[in-house]
């Protein structure tokens, strides 16, 4: 579907309009959808006329039961208040340090041992599933300081994780039907609405227990008692203002889990798939990794894999960041997004959009337009993100590269996402060679997030770093 939309946009110069409503008197407004990927239009929608293009009533109605009035499902003053509060926390170095601790612990104690076992047993693993579990554990730890341990030996089922997954899937089902249909099914408790109701009850009970326990811990600490120190987002919100309701705190946590879990894991899945298909890119990533680790940890390669990379080492991985950005350009975790049109408007390319209609901006297509990225726009080419000398990462205009959204709603966790993805990618590539089993294809799943339909099955083989180290030594000698 996303390629079909991209083909249409390519043929129409970056914007087209279509009607998806068969009711004549609704056709001009509610049934009219404008689809665009033109950077000038995206800047207009996401920044210049930001107030005219909110999430809108349809989106909010669909997600209300799961996300309430949380930051990713709200507009206006409700959104602005949460954004400002969260922005203060995301600018603090301590939050980045907290993410680094959660990621490093999960990599060392769970992720790498599971891959090592798969290597020794010679059995393929679904890397997408492992990454989903890893990022879910990490984001739960960062959001409310509790580790659900879904990435553990045997890959156990977790009640909260399963309920959250079912609730998300059932919520997305609502987009298939007109609002009156799913509301009718909700009223009669039919189909996926039954699953949604039960799952939301499980999620609510779990989060209520977390919040009440955390409040008691913080109260004990304030009264001079002991207890563990928590630096998660939930605790930070509680410390800032004690008058937040439990419902608000729960919505804060769930909104960040939804945003931070699937996006990074899906991006990493496509990254590993592209790296497997492009050995040249894989080698250059390894050269960069080995060069840095030779400086920071010495020449004994065995010591390189004893511990995950630390802050300073991760920050120096310029080419790896370029490869991850190139992955997100071609396979953005959220391929399409939509906005509601409040008042009649004209886009920069001359397209008229009436009040009450909707606009879909195709993030997937935005990264695949020749008039933006050049004739090689469909190639996986990390070098396009580097300076002429190859030593510096060069960010692109945010309205050309919309994988992290843009304008006032640009992703607050962008730096944390890069930190997590670079750490995980480095850990895997240093230790293992990934090989696709014969016949396995990476196909896109129809979802709001760009999952691989059948996962990413890989065989895990040991990595020999000696040829890379020798190459670095020979290059140094030549210099």
Binding residue numbers for heme: 411
- Cβ burial of 231 (10 Å; 0-12, 13-18, 19+) is middle
Residue whose pair of structure tokens reads 């008691």 in the numeric block? 216
* 414 vs 200: CA distance, rounded Å: 28
CA diameter of the chain: 75
- Annotated binding residues, written as ranges, equal 411
User: Tokens standing for 359?
Assistant: 């606009």
* 424 vs 395: CA distance, rounded Å: 22
Q: 114-129: string of b/e by CB count within 10 Å (b at 16+)? A: bbeebbeeeebbbbbb
Residue whose pair of structure tokens reads 């894989």 in the numeric block? 282
User: Tokens standing for 245?
Assistant: 């309701």
Q: Is 373:367 a contact under the CB 8 Å cutoff?
A: yes
How is residue 385 annotated by DSSP? G
Q: Is 24:381 a contact under the CB 8 Å cutoff?
A: no
Q: Is 51:80 a contact under the CB 8 Å cutoff?
A: no
Residue 53: phi and psi, rounded to 5, are -130, 70
């Amino acid at each position: 579907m996303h390629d079909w939309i991209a083909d249409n946009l390519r043929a129409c110069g970056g914007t087209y309009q279509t009607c998806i409503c068969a009711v004549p008197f609704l056709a001009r407004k509610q049934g009219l959808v404008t689809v665009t990927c033109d950077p000038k239009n995206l800047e207009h929608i996401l920044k210049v006329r930001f107030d005219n293009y909110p999430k809108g009533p349809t989106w909010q109605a669909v997600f209300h039961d799961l996300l309430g009035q949380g930051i990713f499902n709200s507009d206006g003053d409700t959104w602005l208040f949460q954004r400002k509060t969260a922005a203060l926390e995301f600018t603090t170095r301590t939050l980045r340090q907290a993410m680094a601790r959660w990621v490093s612990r999960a990599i060392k104690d769970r992720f790498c041992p599971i891959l090592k076992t798969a290597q020794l047993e010679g059995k393929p693993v679904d890397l997408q599933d492992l990454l989903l579990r890893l990022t879910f554990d990490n984001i739960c730890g960062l959001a409310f300081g509790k580790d659900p341990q879904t990435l553990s030996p045997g890959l156990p089922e977790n009640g909260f994780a399963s309920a959250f997954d079912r609730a998300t899937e059932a919520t997305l089902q609502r987009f298939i039907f007109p609002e009156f249909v799913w509301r009718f099914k909700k009223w009669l408790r039919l189909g996926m609405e039954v699953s949604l109701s039960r799952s939301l009850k499980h999620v609510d009970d779990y989060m209520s227990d977390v919040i009440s326990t955390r409040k008691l811990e913080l109260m004990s600490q304030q009264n001079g008692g002991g207890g563990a120190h928590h630096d998660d987002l939930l605790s930070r919100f509680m410390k800032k203002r004690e008058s937040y309701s439990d419902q608000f705190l729960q919505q804060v946590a769930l909104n960040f889990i939804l945003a931070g879990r699937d996006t990074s894991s899906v991006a990493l899945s496509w990254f590993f798939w592209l790296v497997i298909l492009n050995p040249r890119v894989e080698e250059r990533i390894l050269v960069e990794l080995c060069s840095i680790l030779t400086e920071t940890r010495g020449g004994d390669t065995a010591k390189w894999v004893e511990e995950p990379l630390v802050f300073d080492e991760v920050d120096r991985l310029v080419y790896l960041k370029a490869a991850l950005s190139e992955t997100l350009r071609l396979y953005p975790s959220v391929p399409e997004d939509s906005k509601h049109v409040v008042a009649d408007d004209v886009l920069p390319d001359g397209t008229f959009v009436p009040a009450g209609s909707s606009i879909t901006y195709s993030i997937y297509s935005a990264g695949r337009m020749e008039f933006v990225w050049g004739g090689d726009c469909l190639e996986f080419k990390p070098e396009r993100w580097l300076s002429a000398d190859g030593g510096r990462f060069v960010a692109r205009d945010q309205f050309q590269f919309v994988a992290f959204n843009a304008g006032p709603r640009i992703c607050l966790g962008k730096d944390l996402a890069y930190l997590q993805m670079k750490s995980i990618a480095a850990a895997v590539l240093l230790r293992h060679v990934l090989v696709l089993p014969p016949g396995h294809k990476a196909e896109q799943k129809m979802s709001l997030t760009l999952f691989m339909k059948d996962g990413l099955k890989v065989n895990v083989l040991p990595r020999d770093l000696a040829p890379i180290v020798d190459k670095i030594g020979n290059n140094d000698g030549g210099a």
